[in-house]
Copies of this chain bind each other. A is one copy, B any other.
Amino acid sequence: MCGSSTTDIYKEFRDELVGAGLLIPSGVRGVYGRSGVFENVIEQFERYVTREGAPQKAEVMHFPPLFNRAHYCSINHIHNFPDLMGSVHSFTGKDREHAEMLRKFEGGEDWTQDLHPSEVMLIPAACYPLYPTATGTLSTEGRIVDLKSFVFRHEPSDDPARMQIFRQREYVRLGTAEQALQHRNDWVKRGKAMLESVGLQVEAVVANDPFFGRGGRMAKATQREQDLKYELVVPICSTEKPTAVTSCNLHLDYFGIAFDIRTADGQPAHTACIGFGLERIALALFKAHGLEVKAWPAKVREILALD
């Protein structure tokens, strides 16, 4: 299993996963194909989430992994996480410009400066595309929305749990400050219990987001001070640096103001989400119980209907 050198423990586990055929390397760090066995673990964990979330009677809104560029520009991701962004560019010229771009392409020059930014960015979090669609006034009950998407983070890494593209399954609450806080707090507990029930060693900790640069230090301090975000962490390769597999986040009225979402009494709505990192949860399960799903503990196989 994972070795003792801190530089190698990630590569070792990645190589085991690749050797077992669970992940298929693409040649780019953090971008893998998934085997049928891996996909089935994710599908079954998702069904567990759906069962646990059923009493909420959430609306389902599953977005593809693209985010309207204009909406991206309405939030502060470019301030806080510019190094993680994915901006989608395409070619919009005619024959003449095409010939010039091909000349560069074939001559080994940089041809990408001939592209233009498209109308879209890659999604940084599964719930972002929801908020711009929610502009307007909520009922007194507010809303609960079930989201799922591939999300992108440009952070090439040998750690198999730090993928550049992975799926998040979320439940988002839109409503009053109390409704949002309760959602966040309920799901910290429920999410922790769910992960424990499938044999993972989980701890809830205050989040430690990788805000960018000098300006990010203040954002980080504010996040911690206001007690906004909890992560459910599980040791995957490292017990000293356990991996966040789920996060429970209170946004206060940030999205309510950015996208003019209001409560029934006209105040900016508060929002909160729980996001399950599905690939990380699958990896944590493979680490805890071994690479052969058939050999996992009976109770875990039963909860995840893996027989």
Q: In the complex, which residue of chain B has the Cβ closest to the Cβ of A89?
A: B87
Is the beta-carbon distance between A65 and B150 smaller than 8 angstroms?
yes
| A98 contact set on B, CB distance < 8 A | 82, 212-213, 215
Interface residues of A in 91-107 (CB under 8 A from B): 91-92, 94-95, 98, 101-102, 105
Contact of A120 (CB < 8 Å), options: B31, B62, B83, B166: B31
Which applies to chain A's interface (DSSP): helix, strand, loop or mixed?
mixed
Residue pair A112, B89 in contact (C-beta under 8 Å) = yes
Cβ < 8 Å to B, chain A residues 8-42: 24-29, 31-36, 39
Q: List residues of chain B with CB within 8 A of the CB of A68.
A: 26-28, 31
By size class, the interface of chain A is: 35 or more
Taking Cβ atoms with an 8 Å cutoff, the residues of A that contact B are 24-29, 31-36, 39, 59-71, 73, 78-79, 82-92, 94-95, 98, 101-102, 105, 110-113, 115, 117-120, 122, 129-130, 132-133, 146, 150, 152, 154, 156, 163-166, 212-215
A293: shortest Cβ distance to chain B, in Å? 14
Chain B residue numbers with a CB within 8 Å of A87 are: 88-90, 112, 115
| A133 surroundings in chain B (CB, below 8 A) | 24-26, 33
**A87 to B61, alpha carbons, bound, how many Å?**
26
Q: Is the CB of B26 within 8 A of A213?
A: no
| A67 / chain B contacts, CB cutoff of 8 Å | 26
- The answer for the CA separation of A119 and B152 in the assembled complex, in Å, is 13
Contact across chains for B91 and A62 when beta carbons are under 8 A apart: no
B112 near A117 with CB under 8 A, answer yes
